[in-house]
Amino acid sequence: MSSQRETPGAAVKFDGVQKSYDGETLVVKDLNLDIRAGEFLTMLGPSGSGKTTCLMMLAGFEPPTHGEIFLDGQPIGQLPPHKRGIGMVFQNYALFPHMTVGENLAYPLKVRGLSKSDIKAKVERALAMVELSGFGGRRPAQLSGGQQQRIAVARALVFEPNLVLMDEPLGALDKQLREQMQYEIKHIHENLGVTVVYVTHDQTEALTMSDRVAVFNDGKIQQLSPPEELYEHPHNSFVAQFIGENNKLSGTISKMVNGHCEVTLDTGATVT
C-alpha cells in the first residue's frame, strides 16, 4: 500500500504518563517511552501490569491522569480521532457480523469519505495482503477463526494508518494458526513500514516479532530492549524470572557420564 508520507509510521512518545481509574491507585506509574517511526514495539508482561491501559490511552479511549502522549510530536488529545490514523486489532476481532467481509473492510474507508472506486481498489489490495482475495462476498460467520482474524488485521490496515495497535490479537487462535499469523503480521509490518504497538503476555510472540520489547510489571517498564538482550542481559530479577519461566527445558536423567548427568530432553536432544 502506498502512502503520501515519507515515513509511513508515526512516532509515539509517552511523557511522564500516569493512570489511575479510581483516583487512588496508579495502574500506570510515570511512563516515559519513545517509540520510533516504523518500529515494532511489544509491551510484554503479566496480566494486570498496565499494558492494555497504555494502549487504551494511546488509542485515545482513556485520558492519562498525568502526563501527555504525543503522536508525531502532537499531543494526542488535540488530534481529532479521524486525523490520528490509528488502526486497531483486538483479541475478539469484532467484525460486524451483518456485513460481508468486503463491507467490513470498506467501512473505515467510507467513514473517511473515499470514492467508490478507491474503496474497491483498497479493499481488494487489503484482501490480497492477507491472502484472502475472493473472500469479499462472505459473511464473517462463514470464515474460520484464523481467517476472521486475518480480516481484522486487513481492516486495521486498509486505510493506511500510521500506527497499528494490537492487543493480544492472536490469543483466541490455536498454536499453529498463531505462529502463521505472527509470521504474516511481521511480514506486513516489514512491507508497510507502519509503526506497530503490540500487547501480549506471551513472550514467544514478543521475542519473535519485535524490534524492541518493553517488559511491564506493576505499571512500570522493567526493561526496554531488543529481544535478545532480555535473555542475555536481564536488568533485574523480575525480567530474568519472567523471561526464564517460560524458557525452561524439561527431560529425564538417562545416565551418568564422567560424573555428570546426561539428560534426555522432552525434545529428544541430550545434554550433560
- Cα 130 to Cα 219: distance, rounded to the nearest angstrom: 34
Question: Judged by CB under 6 A, which stretch of 40-48, 120-128, 134-142, 174-182 contacts ligand ADP?
Answer: 40-48
Q: Which of 2, 14, 41, 44 is nearest to 164 (CA)?
A: 41
Question: Judged by CB under 6 A, which stretch of 6-14, 44-52, 101-109, 174-182 contacts ligand ADP?
Answer: 44-52
Select from 52, 91, 204, 264 the one that contacts ligand ADP (CB under 6 A). 52
Runs of H (alpha helix) within the chain: 51-59, 81-84, 101-111, 116-129, 145-157, 175-192, 203-209, 227-232, 237-245
Strands ordered across the beta sheet of 74-75:
28-35, 12-19, 66-71, 74-75
Q: Pick left, alpha or beta for residue 159 (phi over 0 → left; psi -120 to 50 → alpha; otherwise beta).
A: alpha
Q: Report the nearest approach of ligand ADP to the CB of residue 22 (Å).
A: 7
Work out whether 64 is an interface residue with ligand ADP (CB under 6 A). Answer: no
Q: Report the nearest approach of ligand ADP to the CB of residue 239 (Å).
A: 15
Residue 135 or 216: the one with the smaller Cβ distance to ligand ADP is 216
Question: Judged by CB under 6 A, which stretch of 41-49, 98-106, 135-143, 146-154 contacts ligand ADP?
Answer: 41-49
Question: Judged by CB under 6 A, which stretch of 49-57, 169-177, 202-210, 228-236 contacts ligand ADP?
Answer: 49-57
**Cα separation values, 68 from 54, 117, 145, 165, Å:** 12, 39, 37, 18
Q: Report the nearest approach of ligand ADP to the CB of residue 261 (Å).
A: 39
Work out whether 47 is an interface residue with ligand ADP (CB under 6 A). Answer: yes
Work out whether 45 is an interface residue with ligand ADP (CB under 6 A). Answer: yes
Residue 70 or 90: the one with the smaller Cβ distance to ligand ADP is 90
Residues 140, 97 contacting (CB under 8 angstroms): yes
Strand partners, 86: 163
Work out whether 21 is an interface residue with ligand ADP (CB under 6 A). Answer: yes
Residues 264, 270 contacting (CB under 8 angstroms): yes
Q: Which three cell numbers stand for residue 157?
A: 490496515
Residue 195 or 200: the one with the smaller Cβ distance to ligand ADP is 200
**Cα separation values, 82 from 106, 169, 202, Å:** 15, 22, 31
Work out whether 27 is an interface residue with ligand ADP (CB under 6 A). Answer: yes
Site residues for ligand ADP, 142-181, by CB under 6 A, read none
Give the footprint of ligand ADP on this chain (CB under 6 A).
Answer: 21, 27, 45, 47-53
